[in-house]
Structure 1
Amino acid sequence: MINYDYRDRQTYPYAEKHRDLLIVSEILKEPASIESFDGYRDVNLALADLQIIIARELPDWRAALSSVKGIYLITDPENGKSYVGKADGISGFWGRFCQYANSIHGMNRGLISRIEDIGAEPALNWRITILEVVDLYADNDTVNMRESFWKNVLMTRAPFGYNLN
């Protein structure tokens, strides 16, 4: 949040001319708002934003993520390594993403090890995206096969990524 007592008549001031007068009054812990759910193909969130969505139980996100299973990708922007996971429970992506919102690592050994190295705060910058959506009633064998496919394609198994299996 920036404070600035602007009194000139010019509608669009040039920031360069006023930057020394701008006062940072507050740094928000959370973004002022989270965009509404815009489709599975457009899910690309920082884990910090995912925590906000889960904590606020945003209805559009909850409805969409609860209605399907599938495969997701978590990427560490610091080193480019990734983790492929599956959401195969009865509450779909929502249930699985709740685990990440609460623990950051989702009980994955590779991610736990990384957090032990860098700490929890940098891990909130990890990106999570949905790779593939599967019907909520699809059998778990199908989901397991698709997860394995994505691990192979994206080479997320150690030492290239955080998947340890």
Structure 2
Amino acid sequence: MKKFGAMLLLAAVTLAAPAYAAAQDDAEAGAVAAVQALFDAMAARDGDAIRGLLTDGATFVATAETPDGVQVRESTGTEFAASIGQPGPALLERMWEPHVMIEGPIAVVWTPYDFHVDGEFSHCGIDAVSLVRTSDGWKISSIAYTRETENCEPSPLGPPPGD
């Protein structure tokens, strides 16, 4: 009887594993899609769309290493959306090879990126994006990122469109 129970348990785990993996893949894809939606809203300079992708208390933290040490610039999601939502130069942020970690309703997307202003390379770095799964889907609760202007590896995505 113990063997039969062990076989049933093994069968249940074997059958459940693909379903769990598919759900995890869907969750990871959803988290990455939320980050990409932010980049798309930035490119469109759409402050309302940006606000819709963020939690109410979202924060943005930019870091840059300088000869005087690490420079830190913080802003709220509201400030960020208002700034990007104004007319201005064309913005393009691209990510590749995102690493996603999910546990229940929280996720982190850690990804290299490059950033272009009016079609010209501006900087590169790492985005560390924290997300929360809500009834409306994944929402960004914070972004911390490095801002590097030198020693940037060429993007595996190649040159941006129009170059």
Q: TM-score, normalised by structure 1?
A: 0.27
Q: Which protein has the bigger strand share? A: 2
Q: Which protein has the bigger helix share? A: 1
